Amino acid sequence: MTKHARLSALVAAAIAGVFAFWGGWARRWMSDDGLIVLRTVRNLLAGNGPVFNAGERVEANTSTLWQYLITAFGWLTGARLEDVAMWLALIFTVAAAAVATYATGRFWGKVGPVIPLGIVIYLALPPARDFATSGLEWGLSLLWIAVWWAALVAWASPLRRRAPQAGYFLAFWCGLSWLVRPELALYGGVTGILLLAYSPRKAAGILAAALPVPAAYQLFRMGYYGLLTPHTAVAKSASDSEWVRGFEYFWDFVGYYWLWLPVMAAAALVGWMLRGTGGRRLAIVLVVAGCSLVHVLYVLRVGGDFMHGRMWLLPLFALLLPAMAVPYTRIGAAIATAVVVWACVTVVRAHPIDWEAYQTGEKELGIVDEREFWTLAVGRELTDPPRYAEDFLGSKLMQNWQEAVSDGAEADAAQLNLAYVSADPEIYRWFYRDREERETDLSDLPMTAYLINLGMTSMNAPLSVRVLDTVGLATPIAARMPRDPDGRVGHDKQLDPAWQAADTDTYLDGLPQFISTLRAKQARAALRSPEISELLATSREPMSWDRFWANVRYSLTDGRTLQLSPDPGVYIDAETRRAIRRGEDPGLEGPRIAWPVEAGSGK
């Protein structure tokens, strides 16, 4: 790499970093899903373990490393967790943009000076700037991809310029992929095969660098949580196919921005520049392109997401890696100029959302601009999005939340419930339900609240309050329910209110009329059935060596396949059904499904 080429790569990387910081800072915010991550962090800092609710071992976050990084920096700095998450995400995004651009400049070093291209395409997209913060792991994921690319470039360098340990570092980095986001294991796994194919004699060293960290955590996950994957994969049924929705999600992103134009231009330029190239240099470009396209197929298959553009950001960033910076030629300069024009139009044009249609009920929520959705949902101006947990108290669903939590705690209530009070003006109110008079193991369950929006409730409640969602991110029972084929992607499971009440110490004979007491008692009895009681034991029974190894076995059997029926009647026998019809509550007895909970308070 010549001196001029190295200097141009550094300049391109600096430009990429500056624009990544400017774009992310200008659009900084906190999402409800980001608050979900912070609830686990609060429990970690309070000594309750990597759980969403104290006493229930549920891995409610997709990225393992992200929650532990926030925990570490939160502990070191003592800063507000929202600020820690925002700064880490932004710094990682900036670093990813700079590292990826410089690595591509190094890749083209023999050709001559380089100019930014692919990074301009990426940063012009509104979702790319929105998810530079948000509290989610997108910045960390981008940084993993950027360093992966830089390590590939170093590994593909001529032998005289290649660091002796380049392959081992690349193997170690690939091993971390699964802990950043599960789908990044595709990139890490294919790269591992590439390393073994080129250096079969170093197989032992490559495997020793790649496997110990992810293997150790995988064993921990299986024994602690009773699952092979994060719980989010179970809740979202990530193994199912939703191709039609996936293509709708694809066109919602690619079609509006005319994204195919700059991407195809960049791909054509890279293809032309690679003519005559072979060996490792061509191999790493093929690996990057192949992994990115398979990642695209995966997102199409699972039906995409409900957040506009979010799931396309990682495969797009990866696909653009060889074009992040391109050699300065007449053709390259012409394409770069056209891309800059496209980028300016895209930034100004943004993404149109007909919010009035959503607010009036004329249109159901589907794929939305998540940042603007939450900004309007909590009653703020579009220029002032939510950034802290208390900002979400402006939501119509949170109007008396803090008061209800306080009153419920004072009354030692079993459950908090949300009620629709008025249509004009639209008013929702939280109220509490009393506990059963008879003391059972269910008496050990803390006061419980259910809401689909898990982040804003959990981060505005003490850790002693058990906060669950109706779609299964933190609720094993809901996660095992069948998907609603007409439901919103990512929110297409719904735990019936009868099941919700059953899995608490709520006095079932005092339920409101819209909840069937008969069905709730059937559900409570169903919780004691062998299938469901063992499911609950994997997360609730106090940890021991016996429980750990039982969970490992469960993760390989029912943990992979168990799906529940929404009808609790299928889990109980005729005698139990007759007892319920007589007004009894047989679900108060049977195999233990709840244990005492001691929750550290933390912040």
Residue type, position 345, single letter: V
Share of the chain above pLDDT 90, in %: 81
Query: Pick from 129, 128, 131, 125: which is nearest to 342 by CA?
Result: 125
- Residue 356: pLDDT band (50, 70, 90) is low
With a CB cutoff of 8 Å and minimum separation 6, the contacts of 443 are: 435, 436, 505, 594
How many angstroms separate the CA atoms of 532 and 526, rounded?
Answer: 7
pLDDT digits (tens, 9 = 90+) for 402-412: 999 999 999 99
Question: Mean pLDDT of all residues in the chain?
Answer: 92
Widest CA span in the chain = 87
How much is the pLDDT for 165? 81
Half-sphere exposure of 580 (CA within 13 A, CB side): 24
With a CB cutoff of 8 Å and minimum separation 6, the contacts of 180 are: 63, 64, 65, 66, 137, 140, 141, 144
How many angstroms separate the CA atoms of 359 and 467, rounded?
Answer: 27
Is 3 or 168 the better-scoring residue by pLDDT? 168
pLDDT digits (tens, 9 = 90+) for 366-404: 788 899 889 988 989 888 999 999 999 999 999 999 999
- Residue 359: pLDDT band (50, 70, 90) is low
Whether 362 shows a pLDDT value over 70: the answer reads no
Tokens (6 digits) for 69: 């990084």
How many angstroms separate the CA atoms of 159 and 154, rounded?
Answer: 10
CB atoms within 10 A of CB 340: 16
pLDDT digits (tens, 9 = 90+) for 12-27: 999 999 999 999 999 9
pLDDT digits (tens, 9 = 90+) for 420-458: 888 878 899 999 999 999 999 999 999 999 999 999 999
Helix (H, G, I), strand (E, B) or coil at 488: strand
How many angstroms separate the CA atoms of 24 and 47, rounded?
Answer: 33
Residue with tokens 């199912």: 240
Share of the chain above pLDDT 70, in %: 95
Helix (H, G, I), strand (E, B) or coil at 430: strand
pLDDT digits (tens, 9 = 90+) for 182-220: 999 999 999 999 999 999 999 999 999 999 999 999 999
How many angstroms separate the CA atoms of 197 and 185, rounded?
Answer: 18
Is 350 or 565 the better-scoring residue by pLDDT? 565
Query: Pick from 88, 197, 194, 182: which is nearest to 143 by CA?
Result: 88
pLDDT digits (tens, 9 = 90+) for 98-107: 999 999 999 9
How much is the pLDDT for 585? 95
DSSP string, 18-81: HHHHHHHHHT--B-HHHHHHHHHHHHHHTTS-S-SBTTB-----S-HHHHHHHHHHHHHH---H
DSSP string, 366-396: -SB-HHHHHHHHTT--TTS---SGGGGGGSG
How much is the pLDDT for 602? 67
Query: Pick from 135, 224, 142: which is nearest to 181 by CA?
Result: 142
How many angstroms separate the CA atoms of 592 and 224, rounded?
Answer: 19
Between strands 325-327 and 114-116, the pairing is antiparallel
List, in sequence order, every beta strand (DSSP E) within 226-366. 325-327
Which sign does the torsion angle of CA 37, 42, 48, 53 carry?
Answer: negative
How much is the pLDDT for 366? 75
Tokens (6 digits) for 466: 């058990």
How many angstroms separate the CA atoms of 111 and 95, rounded?
Answer: 25
Helix H or strand E encompassing 448 = strand 448-450
Contact 195, 157 (CB under 8 A): no
Residue 283 buriedness (CB in 10 A; 0-12 / 13-18 / 19+): middle
Between strands 448-450 and 466-468, the pairing is parallel
Residue type, position 254, single letter: V
pLDDT digits (tens, 9 = 90+) for 75-109: 999 999 999 999 999 999 999 999 999 999 999 98
Whether 176 shows a pLDDT value over 80: the answer reads yes
Query: Pick from 273, 343, 350: which is nearest to 107 by CA?
Result: 273
Is 603 or 532 the better-scoring residue by pLDDT? 532
Q: In which order are the strands placed within the sheet that holds 448-450?
A: 426-433, 415-423, 448-450, 466-468
How much is the pLDDT for 351? 78
How much is the pLDDT for 360? 55
Contact 433, 507 (CB under 8 A): yes
Tokens (6 digits) for 550: 């039982």
With a CB cutoff of 8 Å and minimum separation 6, the contacts of 320 are: 118, 119, 121, 122, 263, 266
How many angstroms separate the CA atoms of 469 and 483, rounded?
Answer: 15
Residue 62 buriedness (CB in 10 A; 0-12 / 13-18 / 19+): buried
pLDDT digits (tens, 9 = 90+) for 125-138: 999 999 999 999 99
β-sheet bridge partners, residue 416? 432, 449
Whether 239 shows a pLDDT value over 80: the answer reads no
- Residue 278: pLDDT band (50, 70, 90) is confident
Tokens (6 digits) for 424: 């004009």
How much is the pLDDT for 158? 75
DSSP string, 97-163: HHHHHHHHHHHTTTT--EEE-HHHHHHHSHHHHHTTSBTSTHHHHHHHHHHHHHHHHHHTS-GGGS-
Whether 111 shows a pLDDT value over 90: the answer reads no
Tokens (6 digits) for 247: 């293509």
Whether 491 shows a pLDDT value over 90: the answer reads no
How much is the pLDDT for 161? 62
Alpha-helical runs (H) found in 350-473: 355-359, 370-377, 401-410, 454-458
Whether 157 shows a pLDDT value over 90: the answer reads no
